Amino acid sequence: MQFIKPEVNINFIGKRKIAFFVSASLILICIISLIIHKGPRYGIDFAGGTLIQVKFESAVNIDDIKAGLKALDLDKSSVQLFGDIADNEFLIRTNRSVITSQGFANEVKQALKATTNINTEIRRVEMVGPQVGKDLREKALFAMFYSLLFITIYISGRFELKWVLSGVIAASLMTAVYISTMFHVSIPILMAVALVVTLFIFWILKLKYAMGAIVALIHDVTITVGIFSIFDKEFTLPIIAALLTIIGYSLNDTIIVFDRIRENLRKQHKNPLKIIINKSINETLNRTILTSATTLFVVIALFVLGGGIIHDFAFALIVGIAIGTYSSIFVASPILIAWQKK
């Protein structure tokens, strides 16, 4: 299926400065939001605490729910509507790690029924201790960082035939990170420093394809996390799964463009690099749009019809796919031009 004519030649590279400005502005807004909110709004997976999902037979007042929770010494809990208003379902979150048992669920049920006079169904009770939440946060950061490092090995080996060099760099960085954790260094700061050092090493060693891919992936993850902060959405384990999915999706799109650039560099090496890169992007544009559109249709269906449980996961994928498609065209490929100037 081809709905974009082969002779189409959109000047993507000519708009790269505008695209860089847009990307820089988005990243700045996202970082400011994260600073204002002191990071993402962690769910109980990462922050620790107790989550209770309840369903009432008819409409209920939130103040009555809070009154029932106060009787259980859970008066500092937040109560949020879950799903459609007609469902009469609510999520109750507290930062206390309550020992959850069948007896606790019955206590909540009786307390809420006493203050609302409505039959209540306890649909879900989850508890995560604060230390477990901290460990999960750190492991999530490590998962994303290590995935980026392994991606660099693949990109450097495939496009620049530097398997050994990239492998040694990745192994050295992982060792340095592991040793640093033994000295109780803040994990977020450690990951940020490690990524900066990684990009600096790529620049010095001229691993241009790997650097372009990693810059694009950092761009995608930062904006997705920032948008979650802007919309004040919870950051949970499913969102980490969504971010790792976004990394894989964006990388696949970037590799397709890089492959075509490499082919055209061999065939048309006398042409300026800008023309070759722009031609390569246009030649893969049909495939990029088709892949992104069909994937988005599925994810939007999940977002609209999947229910509250999967809502945020689907939202992260929608944002990530859109940003990932944009970065493959306007971020990853133009990085190669910066090398020509260097």
- Report whether pLDDT(1) > 60: no
Q: What does the buried/exposed string (b/e) look like for 184-213 if buried means 16 or more CB atoms within 10 Å of the residue's CB? A: eeebeebbeebbeebbebbeebebbbbbbb
- 234 three-state secondary structure: strand
Q: How confident is the model at residue 341 (pLDDT cuts 50, 70, 90)?
A: low
**Both tokens assigned to 339:** 């090398």
Q: How confident is the model at residue 222 (pLDDT cuts 50, 70, 90)?
A: very high
Q: What average pLDDT score do residues 144-151 get?
A: 86
Domains of the chain: 13-43+132-341 (1.20.1640.10), 49-128 (3.30.70.3190)
- Report whether pLDDT(314) > 90: yes
Q: What does the buried/exposed string (b/e) look like for 79-104 if buried means 16 or more CB atoms within 10 Å of the residue's CB? A: beebbeeeebbbbbbbeebbeeeeeb
Q: How far apart are CA 272 and CA 258, in angstroms?
A: 16
**Residue 342 confidence (pLDDT):** 55
**Residue 224 confidence (pLDDT):** 94
Report how far apart, in Å, the C-alpha atoms of 268 and of each of 138, 155, 158, 277 are: 47, 22, 20, 11
The answer to whether residues 202 and 152 touch, using CB atoms and an 8 Å cutoff, is: yes
Q: What average pLDDT score do residues 79-102 get?
A: 76
Q: How confident is the model at residue 145 (pLDDT cuts 50, 70, 90)?
A: confident
Q: What average pLDDT score do residues 170-194 get?
A: 82
Report how far apart, in Å, the C-alpha atoms of 79 and of each of 29, 63, 110, 312 are: 29, 9, 17, 18
**Residue 340 confidence (pLDDT):** 62
252-279 pLDDT, tens digit per residue, is 888 889 999 989 888 887 888 888 899 9
The total of other beta-carbon atoms located within 10 Å of residue 318's CB is: 19
The amino acid at 215: V
The total of other beta-carbon atoms located within 10 Å of residue 287's CB is: 16
The answer to whether residues 269 and 277 touch, using CB atoms and an 8 Å cutoff, is: no
The amino acid at 202: F
Lowest mean pLDDT among 156-165, 214-223, 290-299: 156-165
- Report whether pLDDT(59) > 90: no
The answer to whether residues 224 and 254 touch, using CB atoms and an 8 Å cutoff, is: no
- Report whether pLDDT(170) > 90: no
Q: What is the mean pLDDT of the chain?
A: 85
**Residue 102 confidence (pLDDT):** 58
- Report whether pLDDT(5) > 80: no
Is the model more confident about 77 or about 171? Answer: 171
Q: What average pLDDT score do residues 211-236 get?
A: 91
E strand spans, the chain: 41-42, 49-56, 78-81, 89-94, 120-128, 234-235
